[in-house]
Amino acid sequence: MKSTFKNLKAFTFLLVLTIVTLTGFFCGNPSENASEQKGAASKYLNHNDTVKYVGMDACRACHNSIYETFKETGMGQSFHFATRQKSAAKFGKHHIVYDKWNNLSYYPFWQQDTMYIMEFRLSGKDTTHKRIEKVDYIIGSGQHTNSHMMNVNGFIYQLPLTWYAQKGKWDLPPGYEGGQNVRFSRAIGLECMSCHNAMPGFEKNSLNKFTNVPKGIDCERCHGPGELHVREKVAGNIVDTATQIDYTIVNPKKLSWELQIDVCQRCHLQGNAVLKNDKNFTDFRPGKKLSDYIDIYMHLTPNVCK
Ligand code: HEC
Ligand code: HEC
Ligand code: HEC
Ligand code: HEC
């Protein structure tokens, strides 16, 4: 029941996006034209590096109904602390996953409000190996999957157990089958995190050390950093957005068709993404041209996540 409701909300969200985007496209709303954007420095004031991300709660006071709708979507629930409320999985004594290639077993459980994954090996009735790790985050809204991560002094690793919602069962994560189980050592880097979350804080040049791990994709991933917009609106500097563009924030509806697609393609790309020279996974902002940041090479088989 809960998930039907979620899907309905998600569908409505997409529908609203599509309809408004299309009407914007065909009905000639105030819109940036593509040639104007080319080469010219951006007019969007939040493309400036000094403008900071402020998080979704900062938008709530003035855009409450969008906030309430968005947080129910899959994207709004893409990443969070591992809480009982966040987890879509079932738990119990019979939910044990056996990795026959490594002769290891896995068992997910709660102790009060903390989730753990136990790895163990049996020799007859004796337990000859046992390792228990705390789960800090759940990645995936649970519409399809929940995967699990731990935070060791800011270093993020994936844990070797995933909940598959459609099948209603636990199993090894994608890519861990057939003897490829890397157990607790798969580093989750910026590439991964910057597609599944709000903009994280990352320790430069590290493989997987984060200074800030947000709680799910948020408004600013599609609208750009909001610091300046919030400051201007609080100060009462209001733009008539029916006839003009508020350049303190990006409304995708008012972008060229190509730049609209780029907003979504930043994360919904099919193929292998390779960063351009000197570019970073945190550099792209909505309203910019994605191909200035990332080259995309196609796979022969569809594969969103490496
Ligand atoms: C203090 C109130 C306030 C806050 C906080 C606020 N907004 Fe707004 N926002 C407005 C108002 C009022 C408008 C319409 C008038 C304008 O843009 O000047 C608007 C317009 C917008 C637009 C449309 C701009 C256009 O050109 O069509 C977007 C997108 C937007 N806000 C996103 C956000 C996001 C994302 C956040 C959080 C980071 C946020 N807003 C926080 C008041 C606010
Ligand atoms: C920051 C990366 C990112 C951006 C930007 C992004 N998406 Fe997503 N999107 C995701 C991820 C990750 C999921 C899977 C979420 C989950 O279920 O855990 C997703 C899921 C979805 C879904 C599935 C249903 C749901 O409830 O969310 C739709 C539809 C969707 N995105 C559409 C869009 C559109 C349209 C845009 C552009 C306007 C867009 N996305 C921009 C990362 C992104
Ligand atoms: C280029 C952006 C991108 C990167 C990089 C990426 N993902 Fe994804 N991932 C997505 C999108 C978008 C979806 C949703 C796909 C859909 O619904 O069509 C997704 C789906 C998933 C799902 C299923 C979520 C669900 O419940 O639907 C998991 C789990 C996942 N990714 C984990 C990872 C991990 C772990 C990494 C890093 C090793 C990673 N992804 C890297 C964009 C990305
Ligand atoms: C996945 C991308 C995405 C996310 C995330 C997102 N938006 Fe939007 N938003 C859009 C698109 C596309 C449009 C233009 C189409 C439309 O008007 O619905 C838009 C339009 C808007 C507008 C102007 C139109 C209106 O309805 O007033 C505001 C304000 C806005 N968004 C605020 C927010 C806030 C606040 C959040 C977070 C709670 C948010 N958005 C999250 C993509 C997104």
Instruction: List the pLDDT tens digit at each of the 306 positions of the chain.
Output: 334 334 444 444 443 444 344 334 333 344 444 434 444 578 999 999 999 999 999 999 999 999 999 999 999 999 999 999 999 999 999 999 999 999 999 999 999 999 999 999 999 899 999 999 999 999 999 999 999 999 999 999 999 999 999 999 999 999 999 999 999 999 999 999 999 999 999 999 999 999 999 999 999 999 999 999 999 999 999 999 999 999 999 999 999 999 999 999 999 988 888 999 999 999 999 999 999 999 988 766 555 554
Say which residue the tokens 């090479």 belong to. 297
Residue 97 CA to ligand 1 centre (angstroms): 48
Q: Is 241 exposed, middle or buried (0-12, 13-18, 19+ CB in 10 A)?
A: middle
pLDDT at 42: 85
**Centroid of ligand 4 to alpha carbon of 200 (angstroms):** 20
pLDDT, position 36: 44
Residues with C-beta less than 6 Å from any ligand 2 atom: 10, 14, 17, 73-75, 78, 140-141, 143, 195-196, 217, 221-222, 252, 263-264, 266-268
CA distance 139 to 218: 14
Q: Are 107 and 118 in contact (CB under 8 A)?
A: yes
**Around Cβ 65, how many Cβ atoms within 10 Å?**
7
> How far is residue 80's CA from residue 136's CA, in Å, rounded to a whole number?
9
Residue pair 170/95 in contact by the 8 Å Cβ criterion? yes
Spatial CA neighbour of 223 closest among 10, 33, 55, 32: 55
In 3D space, the residue among 209, 202, 218 whose CA is nearest the CA of residue 283 turns out to be: 202
Interval between CA 3 and ligand 2 midpoint (Å): 17
CA atoms within 13 A on the CB side of 189: 9
Whole-number Å distance between alpha carbons of 306 and 108: 24
Ligand 1 atom 41 nearest Cα: 59
- Residue 299 is predicted with a pLDDT of 64
The whole-number pLDDT of residue 185 equals 97
